[in-house]
Every structure is written in structure tokens, then in C-alpha cells.
Structure 1
Amino acid sequence: MFFSVFMFAIWLSPAFSQDKPIGRFTFSEIHDNVKDSVVTLEVEATVVIQGRPQSADGSGSGVVWGKDGYIVTNKHVIQEDSSVNGQEIKRRARKVYVVSPTGIKITATIVGVAPDTDLALIKINEESVANFKAMEIGDSDSIRVGEHVLAIGSPFGLGGTLTSGIVSSVRSIDMNGSKLPHQMIQTDAAINPGNSGGALVNLDGELVGIPTMIISRTGSNAGIGFAIPSNVVKKIVEDIKNEKTSLGYLGINVQNVNELSSVIRKQLGLQDAGGVMVTSLVPDGPSANSGISQGDIILSVNAQEVKDDVGFRWLERSLSPGKEAFLEIKKRTPNAVEKVKIVVGENKEADTL
């Protein structure tokens, strides 16, 4: 394997750009505007290797979310499960400290985590909020490939570090053999250990992503970094606040229609079809007796358009187990659009909040 994926907090082992950037502010002005909205996190953690606990310290970054003391970071900054040479390794934070740009260290509590999106929410007391400034949240759906973005965080513990780049792509990412339930923003802005949980902002000084991982041969920046889109972060923050602890499940396997060859699409009458095609249904799953069949096209879930398989999984994930969901289905035979009702199941295999 020539390339590796690195998810970046810092952990110490136990004992081509646009000619004219467009935006409201210069890089310097953006840094001044957001420097009090991005914090350094210092973490005291316990690492369990082969059942033996050991102490480990680490650091990462966080983004001030609103005016109530909430701070968003990556889940792997405060807890992580991994395997090295067949040995399971578990790391859990005992204490989390938020360090302000002026060096004030404040104890934070962990509100909750969303393992399937690698996001976490922590909180400081209300008396400490005055030391910080809430980040302005942008619309990540509006970003375009080629536009300038800035990464702000604490690489190698160096708080307030600013790097620049462009949006290289917006794409789905495979992790551990399966696609993440949302797309990621790819950027060539320098992202290094400690940037995890920090901010990726546009030239209006608005958060558009949370830097999370890079692809690199060396473990350091190689110009291929990824950030979780801000619109995804908004949804996860609300889920954690509302203590949503289970993920929706429909029991439908799908394939993107646009991934089919033009010949097959023509044979199936799908030349102009969007959405995803049903490849199979899970036996005894929530959709097994719904009337959905192999080859059907899913156009929407609860009136929200399905553009691709990642979008479908994101909508599925957001459903509430036990509630009804309505899917708009284009049937192959007869060629008609139907609305199908399904009682949502619970995804018991996915990591949950």
C-alpha cells in the first residue's frame, strides 16, 4: 500500500491558485476575525493496549460553536479505537482542556460523539465563553472547486496557524471498506498533525469545513487534505445536543444510476434518470415487503432529492427508527412513479452517537 490515510490529532506515545481571490476580506483580516473562534485542545488520555492502561497526552483543534460554550472537534481527538499488528488499541480522554489564543486553559466536558462522522462536541462553562468568539458558519453546499479556502488550527501544537489553498474537489471517501455517509471537501491547504478539529474557512471568513484527515506517504502534509462540510457538522451538532442515539436503516442496497454504462442505461430506459438504482433488498429488512423491487430508481426520501448513493445514505442515516419514511420510486415495469411508505429500522452495525 503506497498511500495511507491519517486522521490528525497529535498523540505522544505512552511514558495552483486563482489569480484573484474573491471574498469580503484579505487573508490577514480573516485571521484576525476568526483567531478567537479556533482553539487548541490539550487532552490527557488513557491508552489501553492488550488490556494494559497507559497514560498518553495529545492535542488537536476545536471550533467555537455558538455563544453557549459549545466547541466542535473531531472524535478522534478525544477518543479512538484502532488496531496495530492485530492488537486492539483504545484511547479515551480523561481530561480535555481548551486553550484560548491568549493562553488561558479551561476544563471542558464531553457532550457527545458521532463516530460514523468523526465529530465530537465538548463544552466549557458559561463564565469562560467571554474569552472566545463564535465562529460564523457558512453554507458548504455553495462552495465551488477552485475557490480559495484557509485552514486554521494548531498543527504540532502551534495555535493560530493559518495556511491557504483551494478547494480541490468535493468527493465521497472510502474508509475501512465502506463510503462515509457524506461527501468530503478536498483541499491542498496544508493540514498537519494537530489541525484535526480546526477550521476550513472561505474568503468571507465563514466556516465551510472541519479538517479531519489527509492522504500521505509520510504522515505529513502532501496537499491532499479532507474536511467535513459545515452543513454536515450543523446536523451532527444538533443530533448530539438532542441526544439522538440511533441511526435510521432501510435495508436497501443501491448503485448510482450515472455509474451504469450508457448501453445498460439505454437498455433499462434510464438515459435521463437521476437518483440511485436498487440492486437488492436485505431479507427481512424494513423494505423487504414494501413493494420496492430490484431495478427501481429511488428519486427522493421524505421529499428530499436523492442525487447519489452518498446522499441516499446521509438521508437514511438521518431518519428516526420506528418512524415512517416516504420514498419516491420510479418503477421499471410499469414505467411510473410511486410513493412507498416504510417503517424505519435501526442500524445496529454502524457506530452510533
Structure 2
Amino acid sequence: MSDLKNYIIVGVITGIILYYSGLDMFSNKIQIIEAKDIQKTSASSSYSSTVEKVNQSVVSIYTKKTYENNIFFIDPRERRLKRREAVPSGQGSGVVVSSNGYIITNFHVIQGSNEILVRDSNGNDHQTSVIGYDFLTDLAVIKINDNLKPITFGKIENVRVGDISLAIGNPLGVGQTITLGIVSATDKEISPEAYSYQRYVQTDAAINPGNSGGALVNSNGELIGINTMISTLGGGSDGIGFAIPVDIVKYVFTQIIENGEVIRGFVGIISNPNYRGDGVMISGVYNGGPGQKANMRRGDIIKKVNDKKVNKIKDMQDIIGKSKPGDLVSFQIQRNSDILNINVEVEKMPKL
């Protein structure tokens, strides 16, 4: 009897469940599950506020470069044979760095251009003038006659490996695009023979042709680098992108505004990148250069520069490069078993 009672109770409960759920189970109605309206998305899942902060500070750059080719035609008006000019176009990106129209970009974006057009985030076009450029860092400063919103500069010492990074620019000419990644390195050297100011922030944010000159920003919308190149096997983004660090960007921009160019110190010595001992070994001395005039020789080992111990070439380059022409730089040198102290008068680095 008790078993029968239990079966009756289970049957009643099952019937109630089927009654209330059966309408949906056996009908053709499709129910869409929608997300609830959220007033504010958490910073961990959206960077819309970051993009809103910086998108007006990143511009698209379009260039025209005229050159002669071997295509000839007869001009009926002039009745003579003429060479047809080719006018290829290019594009890149730029970053507004001051409210009075100064924009920084890569030098290779504008190099050799006859015409440079800047298009702001609102789609307005601006003619530009070139203020100056620095071949060694691949940076250039251009100017438009309008007031745009400048970006906020971050500090490179606050950038850490693993930080979020967003690349903003005009890849492949499709218009302003934002890609997300993380910082893989903050002081990357591409070549062991590179200058100390040829170092990069590495990111896996997608960087494609046209991104050059655009902004790499942190999650706060602060500039941490200028996107400049990628390492790739197929020509597209393979997740290895490089940006010129913000401290170098700031230094180059300031130098160009103040001097029209970047003035670096030069002592006329060549260092051996393969030397693994204590100090920096001199492998060559420029004929007639400041180093030769001060009696520096091939094979000398530099121990200190301006009383600072140096073991890396880039450490020495950084001190010399930021010296001004006419400054005296002191070197402590080991020559065989002797320790010598030599003062070298710095000259201006010649243009390459």
C-alpha cells in the first residue's frame, strides 16, 4: 500500500513539472537569451573608455611620392615626347602631441613625399609642413594649422612586461583601428650593433602596414610608444611588433622643436660588440675625430665614462649621445696594464 502511495506522489509531482514546462518543450517558440543592460562595463572586459580618451589624438597620414619612370608619351599640346610621372600613394599614422598641431610619426612614413595629408578622427583633411626628422630613431615631426586633442605621455619606467597594450592606427588604409595585446619587452635590442636609442617596446598587439607612426598606449590611455615595425615571415602581423619607447619619443620631439634636428655628441670611436670582458673595448678610431685627437687607440678598454662604470656599449652611447658639442667627457681607459684618464671634447655627430 505504501509503495502505491509513493508512486502516486511521484506521478503527481512529475505531472506538475510537465504541465509548466511542457508549453516550451513541445512548442516551436524560440527564446533568445539576451544580456542584461549594464550601465558600466568593468575595466577588465572593455577598453572603450581608453579608446574614447585617445582616438582623437591619433590621425591617419596619406602621402604622394612622385618619381620618373620609363613610360613615354606624345603630348599633343606640346607636340613632343614626354616621360610620364608615376605618383604612388602611401599611408601611415601619426600621434598628436601638442594642442597647437604638432604630430609625431615615423620618418619612413613621410620619407621622399611631395605631398602629406593628415586626416583627423572626424574625417577632416589637413595640409602639413615638415618640422624635422631623425633618421636614427625613424621619427619625424609634422605640423597642421589646427588645434587637435594631444595625447598624454606615459613614463617608460612604469611599463612592465605583461602590461596591457593597445595599438591604434590606420592599418592597410581601412581607417582607425584598435588592436589589443600585452607588452613582451620594454628595452628590446633588434641588433647587437644598434645605437642605444635604437631599442623598442615589444608587443603582440597586431601591427600591420599603415600602423607605422601610430600610438601604442597602456590601459590608462597613456602613450608608451610609437608603432614602427614588425618581425614577420609572411608580411602580416605574426604577433611580434615593435614601438619606439615614449622616453625616446619625448627626447627626439623636444630636440626637433628646439633645434630643428636631434643634436648628438660624437667622439669618433667604434666599439667591439663581441668583447665579453669588463668594460667596453675600442675596435676602431675615426681618423681626425675627437677620440684620435685625445690619443684613444684601438684595443683600449673603456672602464668608466664621466665616472660611471660601463660594461655595455649602449650605456656608453647613452652618455656620449646626450652630451653637447663642446662638452668634455672623461674616460678611464685600460691600455695593456696601465690605467689612463683621458678627456675628450665632444663634437656634433655627423649626419649619416
TM-score normalized with structure 2 length = 0.74
Aligned to 2:244: 228
Distance 1:105 1:151, change over 3 A: same
Q: In 1, are the aligned partners of 2:162 and 2:184 still within 8 Å (CA)?
A: yes
> What is the alpha-carbon distance in structure 1 between the residues aligned to residue 159 and residue 308 of structure 2?
20
Higher Rg of the two aligned structures: 2
Q: Distance in 2 between matches of 1:333 and 1:25?
A: 61
Q: 1:164 aligns with which of 161, 180, 187?
A: 180
Equivalent of 2:316, from 308, 312, 328?
312
Counterparts in 2 of 1:178 and 1:255: CA distance versus 1, 3 Å = closer
* Cα shift readout 1:235-283 (whole Å, capped 9, x = no counterpart): 11122112236543211222469x61xxxx4xxxx3xxxx533344334
Deviation string 1:94-144 (CA, Å, 9 cap, x unpaired) is: 22121111111111111111112111100011xx21xx2111011224322
Q: What CA deviation, in whole Å up to 9, does each residue of 1:33-91 have, x standing for no partner?
A: 10011111122222456898521111110000122210000111111xxxxxxxxxxxx
Q: Report whether the alignment pairs 1:326 with 2:326.
A: no
Separation (CA, whole Å) in 1 of partners of 2:88 and 2:242: 26
Whether the aligned pair in 2 keeps the contact of 1:43 and 1:96 (CA below 8 Å) is yes
Structure 1 contact 173–180 (Cα < 8 Å) conserved: no
Give the secondary structure class of the aligned counterpart of 1:231: helix
State the identity as a percent: 35
Query: Aligned pairs, how many?
Result: 294
Asked if the contact 2:214/2:227 (under 8 Å) is kept, the reply is yes
Counterpart amino acid of 2:330?
Answer: L
State the partner residue of 2:102.
70
User: Does the CA-based 8 Å contact 1:25-1:204 persist in structure 2?
Assistant: no
Match of 1:11 in 2: none
Unaligned 5+ runs, structure 2:
1-42, 71-82
- Structure 1 partner of 2:114: 94
Higher strand share: 1
Query: For the structure 1 residues 52 and 238, does the alpha-carbon distance in structure 2 shift closer, same or farther, using more than 3 Å as the test?
Result: farther
**2:100 aligned counterpart, secondary structure:** coil
**Distance of 1:305 and 1:153 partners within structure 2:** 41
Q: What pairs up with 1:1-353 in 2 under 5 angstroms?
A: 27-48=47-68, 53-79=85-111, 92-125=112-145, 128-129=146-147, 132-169=148-185, 170-174=187-191, 178-182=193-197, 183-241=199-257, 242-244=259-261, 247-255=264-272, 260=276, 265=277, 270=278, 276-290=280-294, 292=296, 294-301=299-306, 306=310, 308-321=312-325, 323-329=326-332, 331=334, 338=341, 340-348=342-350, 350-351=351-352
- Report the alpha carbon displacement of residue 155 of structure 1 after superposing the two structures with TM: 0.6
Tell me which residue corresponds to 1:85: none
Q: Name the CA distance, whole Å, in 1 between partners of 2:280 and 2:45.
A: 40
Give the Cα–Cα distance (whole angstroms) in 2 for the partners of residues 187 and 312 of structure 1. Answer: 27
- In structure 2, the partner of 1:16 is none
Per-residue CA deviations over 1:14-42 (Å, capped at 9, x if unaligned) read xxxxxxxxx99952211111001111112
Distance 1:142 1:48, change over 3 A: farther
Structure 1, unaligned stretches of length 5 or more? 1-22, 80-91
Contact 1:44 1:57 in 2 (8 A): yes
Paired residue type of 1:252? I
The two structures, once aligned, show a CA RMSD in angstroms of 2.9
Task: Report the CA distance shift for 1:319/1:155 in structure 2 as closer, same or farther (over 3 A).
Answer: same
Q: Take 1:134 and 1:307, find their aligned partners in 2: how far apart are those partners?
A: 39
Q: Tell which has more relative contact order, 1 or 2 (C-alpha 8 A, sep 6+).
A: 1
Structure-2 separation of matches of 1:68 and 1:25: 35
